[in-house]
Amino acid sequence: MSKYILPPLPYSFGALEPYVDALTMEIHHDRHHQTYIDNLNAAIEKYPELAKIPLDKLLVDLEFVPAEIRTTIRNHGGGTYNHNFFWQIMSPKGGGAPNGPLIDLIKQRFGNLEIFQMQFNNTAKSVFGSGWAWLVVDAQGELQIMPTLNQDTPIMFNARPVLGLDVWEHAYYLKYQNRRPDYINAWWHIVNWEQATENYLIIKG
Ligand SMILES: [Fe+2]
């Protein structure tokens, strides 16, 4: 039996319409995410001792992964980890503003929510090629906006994700074609701030 399985979406393919369309969600989840998982499983099957190690540990300690599968773990393990995170950070009931400690910290760190969103958008827009934009808690415990390329994930850089946006073309091209900025602006309508706040509280322990 495969170690990693595709987690079901916590909502229907069409639930995030009109901001993300149903066909994009179906292909993104059922094909792209599934492919990352299949390739991760194939790599792990070659080195069964790695099956006992949690995925986040493999990604943080990539230098200990056998060289033959290191790139596969980085790309497809990262893709698995990032997409597991991504489905949770969106919701048909999302959008608006966060409550509780997260909004206070965003205001402290960035000034207000709008300034934070503008800076996050700029980071997301300027990822060259395929990658992600993140709000993370860094090693010093501070909120930071950071990009990652391809399927690299913040935990590989000693940062833990609170919020993350997939800006690979596969995430938006059917509906938005080359208009990545329109996709980024639309995405704020479906951001699951409750989950982001929970992520933050878990990081802070
Ligand atoms: Fe993706």
Quote the ligand 1 centre to 82 CA distance (angstroms). Answer: 8
Quote the ligand 1 centre to 153 CA distance (angstroms). Answer: 12
Looking at the chain, the number of H-run helices and the number of E-run strands are 10, 3
pLDDT for the residue 99: 87
Confidence of residue 148 (pLDDT cuts 50, 70, 90): very high
pLDDT tens string 8-66: 999 999 999 999 999 999 999 999 999 999 999 999 999 999 999 999 999 999 999 99
The residue extents of the domains of the chain are 21-88, 100-204
Class of domain 21-88: mainly alpha
Type of residue numbered 178: N
pLDDT for the residue 2: 83
Intrachain domains 21-88 and 100-204 with the same fold = no
State how far the Cα of 147 lies from the Cα of 131, in Å rounded to an integer: 7
Confidence of residue 185 (pLDDT cuts 50, 70, 90): very high
pLDDT for the residue 1: 67
Confidence of residue 128 (pLDDT cuts 50, 70, 90): very high
Quote the ligand 1 centre to 172 CA distance (angstroms). Answer: 9
> Could you give the percent of the chain with pLDDT greater than 70?
100
pTM over 0.95: yes
Quote the ligand 1 centre to 47 CA distance (angstroms). Answer: 26
Contact (CB, 8 A) for 183 and 165? no
Quote the ligand 1 centre to 12 CA distance (angstroms). Answer: 17
> Could you give the percent of the chain with pLDDT greater than 90?
98
Quote the ligand 1 centre to 119 CA distance (angstroms). Answer: 21
**Residue 8: Cβ within 10 Å count:** 8
**Bond prior to 154 in cis (omega within 30° of 0):** no
Q: Tokens in use for 34? A: 């599934």
Q: What is the DSSP letter of 158?
A: T
pLDDT for the residue 142: 97
pLDDT for the residue 110: 98
Instruction: Identify the residue whose tokens are 């489905």.
Output: 87
Q: CA nearest 143: which of 169, 171, 107?
A: 107
Q: Which CATH number fits domain 100-204: 3.40.50.720, 3.55.40.20, 2.40.160.20, 3.40.190.10?
A: 3.55.40.20
Q: What is the DSSP letter of 132?
A: E
